[in-house]
Amino acid sequence: MINQIGKCQQWIEQEIKKNKYGKQPESLYEPIRYLMNLGGKRLRPMLTLLSYSLYKDDVKSIIPYAVAVEAFHNFTLMHDDIMDKAPLRRGKSTVHKKWNVNTAILSGDVMLVKVYEAFNELEPSTLKTVLKSFNKCAAEVCEGQQWDMEYESHATVTEAEYINMIKLKTSVLLGFSLELGAILAGASDEDRKTLYQFGVNIGIGFQLKDDLLDAYADPKKFGKQVGGDIIANKKTWLLIKALEKAQGKEKKELQHWLAAKTFKKKEKVTAIKVIYDKLNIPTLAERKVNQYFDKGLKELDKLHTSSSSKAFLKTFTENLIARQS
């Protein structure tokens, strides 16, 4: 398994380094190369390759399409970082900080164009199927981001509303990544749908775990500003559950920090985490994370493919679930 994963990762990185995306003006295309080469888990293209490998062996033949998914993911990150005013991405300056906001907007826009260019190399019948699924996914990602921003100013957000938001913003792209591999391999519609649902459920689990890591991760390992969600009053699952459970002193203090207009960032993060700890929020969050991971992994049993290939995908996913950064 390690050798196959290593080969796939190597092919993905080679394809990314090979892609120049464009030449002039340099200031438009260099930010794309900069962001794409910052690394990351490459989770989405890996899922596309692993999904394809359930049915076919010539995995290397679909590398450009898997990398197109990674380009779309990075396009969303470039624009999300602008909206979130994020200073860091994977431990390095975000594009809008290193260059400027206008350049980041335009570079992100052209990244999306390059995704369509990559898919345009597919056979017409396959292209039509891929684009129908991709366009739905892309629109839903934007819907999720809009809900995410709107929820920042909402007094209350329900758990169901939040789960739906992260499903749209994050999980549907994991679902599409897996579905893409199945489409390119000529899998049945039933397996396509099963892999999509597997991706959506583990995607929700990953996002909930990311919420937890945002507050509790080791800053040296996390690669982003720890406590960023707390500073921005983001209605994460942790905050929603804390608002639901808090009583008396904890509730009053929580509302104080949420209403504060001026504050020291580290002080606010520390104070909110103390409240979370008192309310047992981290343990409750871990439990919810595992519920979605378990739900997703059960989907794999429905696939019409060999047990060994399913076991490979399951092991890869379980290794990701165990991550701490």
pLDDT digits (tens, 9 = 90+) for 7-34: 888 999 999 999 999 999 999 999 999 9
Between CA 49 and CA 56, with CA 50 as vertex, the angle to 5 degrees is 80
CATH of the domain at 20: 1.10.600.10
Confidence band for 232, pLDDT divided at 50, 70 and 90: confident
Band of residue 228 on the pLDDT scale cut at 50, 70, 90? confident
Over residues 174-221, the pLDDT tens digits come to 999 999 999 999 999 999 999 999 999 999 999 999 899 999 877 666
What confidence score (pLDDT) does residue 152 get?
Answer: 79
Residue 280: pLDDT over 60? yes
Note the pLDDT of residue 217: 78
3-state secondary structure at position 89: strand
- In terms of pLDDT, which residue wins out, 154 or 241? 241
Nearest alpha-carbon partner for 21 in 96, 86, 110, 83: 110
Banded pLDDT at 319 (limits 50, 70, 90): confident
Specify the pLDDT at position 92: 87
- Amino acid 233: pLDDT: 86
One-letter amino acid for residue 130 of the chain: V
Is the overall model pTM greater than 0.85, yes or no?
yes
pLDDT at 137 over 80: yes
Q: What does the pLDDT look like over 39-64, one tens digit per residue? A: 888 999 999 999 999 999 899 999 99
pLDDT in tens, 69-111: 999 999 999 999 999 888 888 878 899 999 999 999 999 999 9
Question: Domain total for the chain?
Answer: 1
- Decide if 32 contacts 110 (C-beta within 8 A): yes
3-state secondary structure of 304: coil
d(CA 26, CA 305): 46
Please report which confidence band the pLDDT of residue 324 belongs to, taking 50, 70 and 90 as the band edges. low
DSSP letter, residue 171: I
Containing structural domain, residue 199: 2-321
